[in-house]
Structure 1
Amino acid sequence: MSAAPAIAPEPVPGSRVGGGALPRHVAIIMDGNGRWAKKRFLPRVAGHKAGVEAVRAVTRAGRAMGIEAMTLYAFSSENWRRPEEEVSDLMGLLRIFIRSDIDELARENVRLRVIGDYRRFAPDLVKLVDDAIARTQFNTGPILAIALNYGAQAEIAAAARRLAAKAVAGELAIEAIDDAAIEHELDTRDLPPLDLLIRTSGEVRLSNFLLWQAAYAELLFVDTLWPDFDAAALAQAVATFAQRQRRYGGL
């Protein structure tokens, strides 16, 4: 399934709000685990563990609300720059999350997706991710997409390379390379267009996350540290979204 064009798309039914429609696709930059732990004089890994609990609470709340897709920025391509011990802790928590939550996701008809180059991870973790994706691939319910070793600039560059290769091979006319062609090569091609992007912890930047997809998304920056972001906070974010008027460059 190819995604709708990112540049000035026609609003789909229910996407222009003010009347209370839900966002179809919500993405979250889950920021603030370290600061949450520091405020409590705890090691950073404690903040990451609390962040995993927030993932469970927020994704369950999103499903209960009827949100069609959620994309979570779990590990960026820049996170490799963190101390080796912290990266190891994050990988360990990812293993725990998959093993402990895959039964619930499968039972609730959730389709698990991964965006990013997660095959750089350790072989056992790659297999865990592959098995989890395979187990839920035929589910028909909401989508939970996890961004692992993801960077939006690399994603767009890879899409450009694939399109260039097709053009050189004579499989694609240069004139046919448009917004839809690029979107069809992105990691998110099987997800609905992005409606709402939330960043927690008070930082006001996208940090190389869904740069193309966010072209006409509503952006919401909140001060809440990620481990404290819960079902009520998600409901408030959705209520804020419902007050926005989305004109896509029109009147």
Structure 2
Amino acid sequence: MALKRQAEPEPISGCPRHVAIIMDGNGRWATKRGRPRLFGHHAGARRVREVLEACPHIGVEYLTIFAFSTENWKRTQVEVAGLMTLFRRYITRETSALVASGVRVRFIGDRVRLEETLTRMMTNLENATAHNSRVNLTIAINYGGRDEVARATKRLAEDVAAGTLKPGDINEETLPRYLDTFVLPDPDLVIRTSGEARISNFLLWQSAYSEYEFVDTLWPDFTRAEFESLCTSYGERDRRYGGVKA
């Protein structure tokens, strides 16, 4: 999956610095082809490579992908087990290429429920890529926006109880320091594939001022060209953040 080192074109004017993607439609894509849902998830994992490869060429510095939500545990045991196996294989297969390509990988989400082997592999991949900066890839596993805010609030309350944080000092600048994404900029653009128009508990705090794109394409069919087109469209938007231009 090494990002190709060919001569890079000029970045897209006004390209979003941080793009987050809800990669929806893997199961439906497989079902349409008469294949098991896990076949679609494997196809979707390959699609991540193409989008990630495009990022440094067009000016996207941060890519965050929603790989497994806190709600996904409700799926069948077969599908959940298959996804966990897919995550392990992805890390095993891609670590060397990610390191060589200058990709820094981070994971967000609650790791407590994940099996120890997977969490150890996640930590090792984070450590192996810690000095990279060409592209920042964040993978959300066992992640939910409400769960993240609840966990952050608990840590904040513990600091108040310990006397290291005063209640009067808490404001909207304080809580983000306790979120899983505390080292990341907020997403400029959030893309959801498969025709669904909902945010599904993804980056609730961080996406308060994000632009959204809901596209009909099922994730395994989502191309680099479509990704670049959405980033170009973002650059043409007039973002006022609640203000009014004279």
Find out whether 1:231 has 2:231 as its counterpart. no
The answer (yes or no) to whether the contact 2:14–2:236 under 8 Å persists in 1 is no
Q: Which residue, out of 67, 73, 86, partners 1:93?
A: 86
Between the aligned residues of both structures, percent identity stands at 48
Secondary structure of the equivalent of 1:143? strand
Find out whether 1:185 has 2:178 as its counterpart. yes
Q: Which residue, out of 102, 112, 125, partners 2:105?
A: 112
Find out whether 1:148 has 2:141 as its counterpart. yes
Instruction: Measure, in 2, the Cα distance between the counterparts of 1:70 and 1:105.
Output: 14
Instruction: Measure, in 2, the Cα distance between the counterparts of 1:192 and 1:209.
Output: 15
CA apart distance, 1:20:
2.7
Instruction: Return the structure number with greater relative CO, CA threshold 8 A, min gap 6.
Output: 1
Q: Which residue, out of 11, 14, 18, partners 1:25?
A: 18
Q: Which ranges in structure 2 are unaligned for 5 or more consecutive residues?
A: 1-11
Find out whether 1:36 has 2:29 as its counterpart. yes
Q: Which amino acid aligns with 1:27?
A: A
Moved beyond 6 Å, runs of 4+: none
Instruction: Measure, in 1, the Cα distance between the counterparts of 2:111 and 2:122.
Output: 8
- CA RMSD of superposed structures (Å): 1.2
Secondary structure of the equivalent of 1:215? coil
Deviations along 1:95-116, whole A, 9 cap, x unmatched?
1111111111101111100000
Moved more, 59-68 or 86-95: 59-68
Instruction: Measure, in 2, the Cα distance between the counterparts of 1:66 and 1:208.
Output: 27
TM-score (norm 1): 0.90
The answer (yes or no) to whether the contact 2:61–2:136 under 8 Å persists in 1 is yes
CA apart distance, 1:120:
2.0
Instruction: Measure, in 2, the Cα distance between the counterparts of 1:65 and 1:242.
Output: 12
Deviations along 1:139-188, whole A, 9 cap, x unmatched?
23221000000011011111111112222222212121111111111111
Deviations along 1:69-97, whole A, 9 cap, x unmatched?
00000000111110000001111111111
Instruction: Measure, in 2, the Cα distance between the counterparts of 1:112 and 1:23.
Output: 19
Instruction: Measure, in 1, the Cα distance between the counterparts of 2:168 and 2:136.
Output: 33
Matched residue count: 233
Q: Which amino acid aligns with 1:240?
A: S
Deviations along 1:2-28, whole A, 9 cap, x unmatched?
xxxxxxxxxxxxxxxxx9311111000
Q: Could you tell me which residue of structure 2 aligns to residue 3 of structure 1? A: none
Q: Which ranges in structure 1 are unaligned for 5 or more consecutive residues?
A: 1-18
Secondary structure of the equivalent of 1:42? coil
Q: Which residue, out of 32, 50, 53, partners 1:57?
A: 50
The answer (yes or no) to whether the contact 2:55–2:135 under 8 Å persists in 1 is no
TM-score (norm 2): 0.92
Find out whether 1:250 has 2:243 as its counterpart. yes
Moved more, 150-159 or 119-128: 119-128
